[in-house]
Structures are given as structure tokens and as C-alpha cells.
């Protein structure tokens, strides 16, 4: 906790304050060549890095032909599978009576010769127990149910670590309790993990309930952006990340890095970073899709995203020396990826601090630079809008016009939600005595849920 707090203050607020102090100490002659405010140059450097990253991902994916859609008659060819290793499917389950039966039925339809399903009932108090036991009796050759009722440790990471000792598959596939996949899902994923340097592969994630309301529709567009970034990072060999739902990992490597971190708010992202700093690769499979339910109201969305953001920030703070330090195992692409990711936290905070500073200057009748700050904010908005357009175009297969329209809608949602989440996350990390708590995303009855 103190480590995270110190690092965050040093990296963001400390750097900004140092620039401001340095600016006041500089002689007037020097400021003729480097005009104030110097803090604005720091923001500008981060924005330029984001622009370079955006262009790099776009060019890399364009060269691979990923911009082609049904309008351009593209064809994806999967690599040939050489062998079919045993795959254990793990699902951590807590009070999932609304969705778990359909998920089990879906997984039983997988077209793969050698897989087994482990259902970990993690202290459920609804009718989940009855549903799980029914399926184990009905499919003993395919399903094993493990009830965790007396263990002190709770949560998804603890449940998955617990079932690890009861399994023996060469590969482990992890799904959430509301996951929906196609029957050839594992066949599409397998070629990506055959390379000896690859530890895991993440599939494309999509929303299963985009038509529920306007908020879930925006989240579907947001998932398209995430898929676009993941695919681009895979092409440039950057930091592809596991998303908790729909990933495949090698058993021996998971054991070697110490399983999942049960204290982390985002065990999937923490594991991703731990794999990367230990020299392993994570791939992204754009051909395989896993569907999951999106929060249907703003309160549930805010709780989910605050957990994701705090957990994501903390795992980077804990691993910064391993990513950028002298003994690093990371490549330039991975370091640049990490730098741009951290910029997404730093820029909103620096702009906020600069706006406060400029307002103070205005009240003192001093020259202000609010126009420059607004222009920088507009550039950031445009960068995100371009990436959103590309992502929606590729993964929703809409026309360019429709993709741009949806990108603009979603970008206004980002403009509202992301700065709020960043500020609340900074407040939590800097001033709270405890970490955030893990909250399970609420599931809903499956009326209106998409299927393949």
C-alpha cells in the first residue's frame, strides 16, 4: 500500500510539482527559449507518445489485412493443428443460478476431443449447488464439481488456485460463469499457444447483451476498441493482456510463476504482467470469441470499472522496476506499450492539475494557457475516436460511416466516465488505508442475450 502510494505520488503529482518548481526557478532569459508553462510540455510528450502508438497499431494491423471486412471479402485461415493436448476448463462460480446452466450446456457442445470441465462452487448460497450437482451426475465423464464451503479464502483467484491442485490438463482454459462460445472455440485458440515462448492466449471478448439498453450498446463498442488494441499489440509483440474470461494458459508455466495472486483486484491483469516481466509471450486470437454480460446500469458499471482500473494501476506500480529496470526481460515494444498505458492515467491527472493551476493564475490576473490545454484534450479525444472507429469497423463489421457515428457516441461516454474513474482511482490509491474490494458483476436473466 505505502509502496503504491509513494510510486504514484512520485510519478504523477511529484513530477508535475517538480516541473512547476523548476519553472519558477528558471531565469527569465531561459524562459525566452522555453516559454511557460513547462508542465504543458510534459503533457504534450505523453500525447505525442499516444499518437505514435495509435499510428503504429493502425499500420501494423493494416499490413496484416485486419481492416478487411465483409465489404472487402476477407478470408481468415487458421494455422494447422499438430496435436490435441488435454485441456481443463475452469469456471469459478458464486451465486450464478441465473446463467450457469446455459454456460455448462454451451461448453458441453465444444468440438474438441480431449477436454474436461471443472466447476468450482465458491461459497454459493442460492440454488447454484443443486444445478451443479445435477450436471455432475448427468455427465460424470465430462464434469467435476468442487464445492468450497469451509475455506476462508474467497474470490475468483482463490477458487481457481484451489481447483488447480485437482486437475492435470496440459492446458487450462478459464471462463466466467456467463461465458458463451462457439463449438470450435478451442480449435481456433490452440494454434496460437503451440510456440514454446508463448505462455497464454486471450480470445476476442464481446458483449452478449448489447441490445439491453444504450449503456450496454456503448460497452459493446468499447469492447471492440479493446479487441483492436489487443490485436495490434499482438502484431507488434507488445503487452497483450489476459481478460479473465476466455483465455488459455499452459499449466506448467502457470505453476512456474506462482499461480494467481489472490490479493489482486484484477488477478488476470496481474498474471499478465507477471508473465511478461518473466519473459513469456501472450498472444491474441481474433478468430475465437467469448461473449459475456455487460453491466446494465451506471452504478454497476462504475463499481466494475473502478475495480478494473485500481487493480490495473497497482499491478503496474508493483512491476515498474521489472518493466523498465536494468534487469528487465521486456522488449522495446512492451516498454512503449506500458508507457502509453500509464500515460492514459497521467494525462487526465496532469490536465486536471494544470487547469487548477491556470484558474489560480487567472484569478491573479496572470497570463493563462487554458486554450492549449483544451487543444491537447481535443487531440486526445480525436486519437480515441480514430481507434474506436477502426475497432468498430473491424469487429462489428459496419460501414465506415456507421463506425464513425458509433465511435463519436462512445467517445462522449468515454469523456464522461474515464476522467471520473481515473480521479476516483487516484483518490483510492493515495488516500485510502485499504485496497478496493472485489465485487462480482451482477448477472441477469438471459432474455435478450445474444447467441452465435
What CATH number has the domain bearing residue 81?
3.90.550.10
Choose the final residue of a domain: 324, 357, 381.
Answer: 324
What average pLDDT does the segment 98-117 reach?
A: 95
342 with 196, same domain: the answer is no
HEC profile for the chain? Answer: CHHHHHHHHHHHHHHHHHHHHHHHHCCHHHHHHCCCCHHHHHHHHHHHHHHHHHHHHHHHHHHCCCCCCHHHCCCCCCCCCCCCCCEEEEEEECCCCCCHHHHHHHHCCCCCCCEEEEEEEECCCCCHHHHHHHHHHHCCCCEEEEEECCCCCCCHHHHHHHHHCCCCCCEEEEECCCCEECCCHHHHHHHHHCCCCEEEEEEEEEECCCCCCHHHHHHHHHHHHHHHHHHHHHHCCCCCCCCCCCEEEEHHHHHHCCCCCCCCCCHHHHHHHHHHHCCCEEEEEEEEEEEECCCCCHHHHHHHHHHHHHHHHHHHHHHHHHHHCCCCCCCHHHHHHHHHHHHHHHHHHHHHHHHHHHHHHHHCCCCCCHHHHHHHHHHHHHHHHHHHHHHHHHHCCCCHHHHHHHHHHHHHHHHHHHHHHHHHHHHHHHHCCCCCCCCCCCCCCCCCCCCC
Choose the final residue of a domain: 299, 324, 349.
Answer: 324
Q: Is residue 299 part of a domain?
A: yes
Question: How many domains is the chain built from?
Answer: 2
Choose the final residue of a domain: 295, 324, 353.
Answer: 324
214 with 350, same domain: the answer is no
Q: Identify the band that residue 70 occupies on the pLDDT scale cut at 50, 70 and 90.
A: low
Task: Specify the pLDDT at position 176.
Answer: 95
- State pLDDT tens for residues 218-239: 999 999 999 999 999 999 999 9
418 with 299, same domain: the answer is no
Which structural domain, as residue segments, surrounds residue 53? Answer: 2-66+331-431
216 with 274, same domain: the answer is yes
Q: Is residue 446 part of a domain?
A: no
60 with 151, same domain: the answer is no
Q: Is residue 186 part of a domain?
A: yes
Q: Is residue 449 part of a domain?
A: no
- State pLDDT tens for residues 351-394: 777 777 777 777 877 777 667 677 888 888 999 999 999 999 99
Q: What is the rounded average pLDDT for all residues in the chain?
A: 86
227 with 336, same domain: the answer is no
- Which pTM value belongs to this model? 0.88
Amino acid at each position: 500500500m505505502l509502496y503504491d502510494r509513494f510510486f504514484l505520488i512520485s510519478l504523477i503529482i511529484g513530477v508535475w510539482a517538480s516541473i512547476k518548481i523548476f519553472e519558477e526557478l528558471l531565469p527569465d532569459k531561459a524562459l525566452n527559449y522555453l516559454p511557460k508553462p513547462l508542465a504543458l510540455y510534459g503533457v504534450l510528450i505523453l500525447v505525442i507518445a499516444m499518437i505514435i502508438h495509435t499510428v503504429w497499431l493502425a499500420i501494423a494491423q493494416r499490413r496484416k489485412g485486419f481492416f478487411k471486412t465483409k465489404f472487402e471479402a476477407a478470408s481468415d485461415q487458421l494455422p494447422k493443428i499438430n496435436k490435441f493436448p488435454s485441456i481443463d476448463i475452469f469456471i469459478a462460480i458464486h451465486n450464478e443460478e441465473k446463467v450457469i446452466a446455459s454456460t455448462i450446456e454451451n461448453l458441453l457442445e465444444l468440438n474438441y476431443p480431449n477436454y474436461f470441465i471443472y466447476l468450482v462452487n465458491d461459497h454459493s448460497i442460492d440454488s447454484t449447488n443443486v444445478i451443479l450437482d445435477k450436471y455432475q451426475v448427468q455427465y460424470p465423464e465430462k464434469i467435476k464439481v468442487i464445492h468450497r464451503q469451509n475455506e476462508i479464502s474467497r474470490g475468483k483467484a482463490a477458487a481457481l488456485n484451489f481447483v488447480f491442485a485437482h486437475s492435470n490438463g496440459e492446458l487450462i482454459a478459464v471462463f466466467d460463469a456467463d461465458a458463451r462460445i462457439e463449438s470450435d472455440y478451442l480449435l481456433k485458440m490452440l494454434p496460437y499457444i503451440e510456440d514454446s515462448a508463448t505462455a497464454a492466449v486471450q480470445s476476442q471478448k464481446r458483449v452478449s447483451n448489447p441490445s439491453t439498453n444504450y449503456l450496454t450498446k456503448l460497452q459493446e463498442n468499447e469492447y471492440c476498441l479493446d479487441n483492436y488494441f489487443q490485436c495490434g499489440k499482438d502484431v507488434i509483440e507488445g503487452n497483450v493482456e489476459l481478460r479473465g474470461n476466455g483465455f488459455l494458459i499452459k499449466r506448467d508455466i502457470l505453476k512456474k510463476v506462482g499461480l494467481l495472486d489472490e490479493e489482486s483486484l484484477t488477478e488476470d491483469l496481474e498474471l499478465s504482467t507477471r508473465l511478461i516481466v518473466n519473459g513469456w509471450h501472450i498472444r491474441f486470437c481474433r478468430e475465437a470469441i467469448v461473449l459475456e454480460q455487460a453491466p446494465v446500469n451506471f452504478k454497476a458499471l462504475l463499481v466494475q470499472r473502478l475495480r478494473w482500473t485500481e487493480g490495473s494501476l497497482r499491478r503496474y506500480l508493483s512491476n515498474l522496476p521489472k518493466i523498465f529496470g536494468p534487469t528487465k526481460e521486456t522488449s522495446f515494444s512492451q516498454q512503449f506499450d506500458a508507457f502509453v498505458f500509464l500515460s492514459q492515467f497521467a494525462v487526465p491527472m496532469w490536465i486536471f492539475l494544470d487547469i487548477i493551476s491556470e484558474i489560480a493564475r487567472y484569478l491573479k490576473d496572470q497570463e493563462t494557457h487554458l486554450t492549449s490545454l483544451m487543444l491537447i484534450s481535443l487531440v486526445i479525444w480525436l486519437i480515441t475516436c480514430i481507434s474506436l472507429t477502426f475497432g468498430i469497423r473491424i469487429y462489428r463489421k459496419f460501414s465506415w460511416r456507421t463506425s464513425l457515428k458509433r465511435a463519436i457516441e462512445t467517445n462522449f461516454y468515454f469523456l464522461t466516465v474515464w476522467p471520473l474513474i481515473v480521479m476516483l482511482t487516484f483518490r483510492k490509491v493515495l488516500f485510502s488505508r485499504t485496497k478496493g474490494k472485489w465485487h462480482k458483476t451482477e448477472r441477469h436473466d438471459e432474455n435478450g442475450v445474444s447467441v452465435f
